[in-house]
C-alpha cells in the first residue's frame, strides 16, 4: 500500500531515520521540522497520515494536533504521535487533542508499518464515502438532514476469557455502553455478535481459538466488514498484533490496560462508526432513482461518468491509478429469445450480485445499459485489475444460472475489457475508449475472456490475460 506520510520532528536525525524506514516500504515521505511548517505543509499537500513528534519548541505536538483537527481541510488526516513520553496522562492528552495513536521512541518497525497501513486504509475508506456523498448531493435537492453527533450509549461485544478482567473492562465502559456482552470463548463470540453491535473489544489470546481468525472472518462478511475492532494484547505479542491490524482490526491496547485510555479509544471507535454510518445513510438517501438502475440496483451511466471524472481528477493531481473494467454478456439475445425477457432480467440481477461479491467495498459497479456493465476501481494497477476481472469472469462461467423455465442451469459467460489511467492528464473519454477497445478485442477473440489494454497500446497488440 503506497501512501504519503508527513514526518514532523525538530531533530533532523529522527526525521531521516523515519524517512529511511518508510521509504524502504515504498511510502512517499514529506518532512517538517516544526509545528507551523507542519500545519502549512499538511494544508497544502494533504498527506495520507502524519507522524508527529510531541516535544518540539515553540509549538508542541499536542497543539499542532489540535490545530490540525480544527481545520476542516486537515481534520480527517490520521495523526500518530511519536514520543519518548510513556506517562499515561500524556497519552490521554494526545488522544483528547485528536491523535489516533501513539508510537514510543525508539519506534518499533512492526508497530510503525502496521499502524500506518491500518490508518491509511481507514482514511481512504472514509474519503471514498465522502466523495460518493458529495457526488450524490449534486443530483439531490433535499435539505440538510443534520449532522449532530449521536452520543447515545452503544452495544459492545467483549471477548475475554478471564472473568475478572472482563468485569473490570465492562465497568470501565459503563459510561458509554448501553450493554457490554461478554463472550468467554471464540465460539460464543460468533453466536453473540449481531447487527446491533457497534464495537468489538477482543483479547488477542484466547484459549479455545484464534482471535485473528475471527477478525479475518468478520472482515470477509458484508454485515460486519466495517464494524470497529479493538484488540487487547500483551507487549510480547506485537507481531501478531501487527497481523491483526493488517487483517482489518482498527486499534489496540497493551496490557496492563489503563481505564481512561480504554474509555477514550472505545469512544473514538464508536464515534467513527457512527460517522461512517451517517455518511453511508446520507449517501443512500440522496441517491435518487435518476442515479440508479431500477432492475439491478447498481449505479447507472449518469452517476458512473460523474464519479469517474472525480477519480480521474484525483489521479491527475498526484493520486494512483484508476482501473476500468467494461464487460457484457455473451450472446445475451439468445437468452431473451429462448427463455423470455423475465429470464433475461433475472440473469442481469444475478450477474450484478455476483459482480458485487467479487470487488472491494469501495469499488463501484454500474450498469451502462442493456447487458453492458462497468466497474471502477480506484488505487489499482493494470495487473490487479486484470486479476479481479478474471475473478468476475469465473464467477459467471463456473456457475450456470438457474432460470425458472429452464430444465437445467443455463451457462452464461461474459467478455471483459480492462484499462487503467496511469499517465498524467488522463481523460475519462480516453480511458473508456481503451476499455471499450479491449472489450471489442475480447469479443473478436472468441468471447468468455479478459483483455487488458495498456496506455498507448495499439488495439492489434492487446493481450489476453485469461480465457
Q: Is the pLDDT of residue 30 over 90?
A: yes
Higher pLDDT, 41 or 286: 41
DSSP assigned state of 237: G
281 is catalytic: no
Q: Provide the edge-to-edge strand list for the sheet that holds 414-421.
A: 364-369, 372-378, 322-329, 414-421, 450-452, 463-466
Report the largest interatomic distance among the alpha carbons of the chain, rounded to a whole angstrom.
Answer: 79
Q: Give the model's confidence band at 455: pLDDT under 50 very low, under 70 low, under 90 confident, else very high.
A: low
Q: Is the pLDDT of residue 141 over 70?
A: no
Predicted pLDDT of residue 139: 57
CB-count exposure of residue 57 (10 Å: 0-12, 13-18, 19+): exposed
* Residue ranges of domains in the chain, CATH in brackets: 4-139 (3.40.50.2300), 154-286 (3.40.50.2300), 289-466 (3.30.70.270)
Check: CB of residue 61 under 8 Å from CB of residue 83: yes
Cell numbers 453527533: residue:
149
Mean pLDDT of the region 3-8: 94
Cell numbers 464515502: residue:
129
Among the options 133, 198, 371, 390, which is catalytic? 371
Higher pLDDT, 96 or 399: 399
Percent of the chain, pLDDT > 90? Answer: 57
Q: How far from the centroid of its chain's Cα atoms is residue 303's Cα?
A: 21
Q: Give the model's confidence band at 228: pLDDT under 50 very low, under 70 low, under 90 confident, else very high.
A: very high
Q: Give the model's confidence band at 6: pLDDT under 50 very low, under 70 low, under 90 confident, else very high.
A: very high
Predicted pLDDT of residue 288: 59
Mean pLDDT of the region 116-132: 81
Highest mean pLDDT among 220-224, 383-387, 455-459: 383-387
Predicted pLDDT of residue 461: 42
Instruction: Quick: pLDDT tens for 144-164.
Output: 444 556 789 999 999 999 999
Predicted pLDDT of residue 361: 87
Q: Give the model's confidence band at 460: pLDDT under 50 very low, under 70 low, under 90 confident, else very high.
A: very low
CA angle 381, 387, 391 (to 5 degrees): 140
pTM here is 0.54
Q: Is the pLDDT of residue 324 over 60?
A: yes
- Beta bridge partners of residue 251, listed in sequence order: 230
Higher pLDDT, 424 or 218: 218
DSSP assigned state of 295: T
Predicted pLDDT of residue 103: 82
Q: Give the model's confidence band at 462: pLDDT under 50 very low, under 70 low, under 90 confident, else very high.
A: very low
Mean pLDDT of the region 236-252: 89
Check: CB of residue 450 under 8 Å from CB of residue 467: yes
Cα atoms in the Cβ-side hemisphere of radius 13 Å centred on 96: 8
Check: CB of residue 437 under 8 Å from CB of residue 462: yes
Mean pLDDT of the region 260-277: 87
Predicted pLDDT of residue 453: 87
Mean pLDDT of the region 62-80: 93
Instruction: Quick: pLDDT tens for 166-221.
Output: 999 999 999 999 999 999 999 999 999 998 999 999 999 898 888 999 999 999 88
Q: How far apart are CA 385 and CA 323, in angstroms?
A: 6
Amino acid at each position: 500500500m503506497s501512501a504519503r506520510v508527513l514526518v514532523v520532528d525538530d531533530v533532523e536525525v529522527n526525521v531521516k531515520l523515519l524517512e529511511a524506514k518508510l521509504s524502504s516500504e515504498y511510502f512517499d515521505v514529506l518532512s517538517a521540522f516544526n509545528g507551523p511548517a507542519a500545519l502549512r505543509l499538511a494544508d497544502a499537500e494533504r498527506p495520507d497520515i502524519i507522524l508527529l513528534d510531541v516535544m518540539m519548541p515553540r509549538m508542541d505536538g499536542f497543539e499542532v494536533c489540535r490545530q490540525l483537527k480544527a481545520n476542516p481541510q486537515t481534520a480527517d488526516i490520521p495523526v500518530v504521535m511519536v514520543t519518548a513520553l510513556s506517562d499515561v496522562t500524556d497519552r490521554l492528552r494526545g488522544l483528547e487533542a485528536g491523535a489516533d495513536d501513539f508510537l514510543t521512541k525508539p519506534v518499533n518497525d512492526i508497530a510503525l508499518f502496521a499502524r500506518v497501513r491500518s490508518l491509511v486504509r481507514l482514511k481512504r475508506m472514509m474519503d471514498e464515502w465522502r466523495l460518493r456523498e458529495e457526488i450524490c448531493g449534486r443530483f439531490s435537492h433535499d435539505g440538510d438532514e443534520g449532522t449532530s453527533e449521536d452520543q447515545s450509549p452503544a452495544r459492545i461485544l467483549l471477548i475475554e476469557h478471564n472473568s475478572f478482567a472482563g468485569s473490570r473492562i465492562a465497568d470501565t465502559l459503563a459510561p458509554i455502553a448501553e450493554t457490554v456482552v461478554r463472550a468467554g470463548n471464540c465460539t460464543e463470540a460468533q453466536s453473540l455478535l449481531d447487527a446491533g453491535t457497534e464495537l468489538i473489544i477482543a483479547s488477542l489470546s484466547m484459549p479455545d481459538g484464534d482471535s485473528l481468525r475471527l477478525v479475518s472472518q468478520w472482515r470477509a462478511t458484508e454485515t460486519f466488514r466495517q464494524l470497529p475492532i479493538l484488540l487487547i494484547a500483551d507487549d510480547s505479542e506485537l507481531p501478531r498484533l501487527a497481523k491483526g491490524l493488517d487483517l482489518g482490526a482498527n486499534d489496540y491496547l497493551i496490557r496492563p490496560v489503563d481505564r481512561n485510555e480504554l474509555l477514550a479509544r472505545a469512544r473514538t471507535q464508536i464515534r467513527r462508526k457512527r460517522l461512517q454510518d451517517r455518511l453511508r445513510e446520507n449517501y443512500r438517501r440522496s441517491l435518487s432513482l435518476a442515479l440508479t438502475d431500477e432492475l439491478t440496483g447498481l449505479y447507472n451511466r449518469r452517476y458512473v461518468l460523474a464519479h469517474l471524472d472525480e477519480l480521474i481528477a484525483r489521479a491527475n493531481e498526484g493520486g494512483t491509478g484508476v482501473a476500468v473494467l467494461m464487460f457484457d454478456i455473451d450472446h445475451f439475445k439468445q437468452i431473451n429469445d429462448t427463455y423470455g425477457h423475465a429470464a433475461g432480467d433475472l440473469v442481469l440481477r444475478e450477474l450484478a450480485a455476483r459482480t458485487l461479491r467479487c470487488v472491494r467495498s469501495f469499488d463501484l459497479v454500474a450498469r451502462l445499459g442493456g447487458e453492458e456493465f462497468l466497474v471502477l476501481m480506484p488505487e489499482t494497477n493494470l495487473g490487479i485489475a486484470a486479476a479481479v476481472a478474471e475473478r468476475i469472469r469465473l464467477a459467471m462461467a463456473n456457475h450456470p444460472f438457474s432460470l425458472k423455465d429452464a430444465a437445467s442451469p443455463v451457462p452464461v459467460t461474459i467478455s471483459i475489457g480492462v484499462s487503467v489511467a496511469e499517465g498524467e492528464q488522463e481523460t475519462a473519454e480516453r480511458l473508456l475508449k481503451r476499455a471499450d477497445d479491449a472489450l471489442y478485442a475480447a469479443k473478436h477473440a472468441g468471447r468468455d475472456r479478459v483483455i487488458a489494454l495498456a496506455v498507448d497500446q495499439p488495439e492489434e497488440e492487446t493481450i489476453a490475460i485469461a480465457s
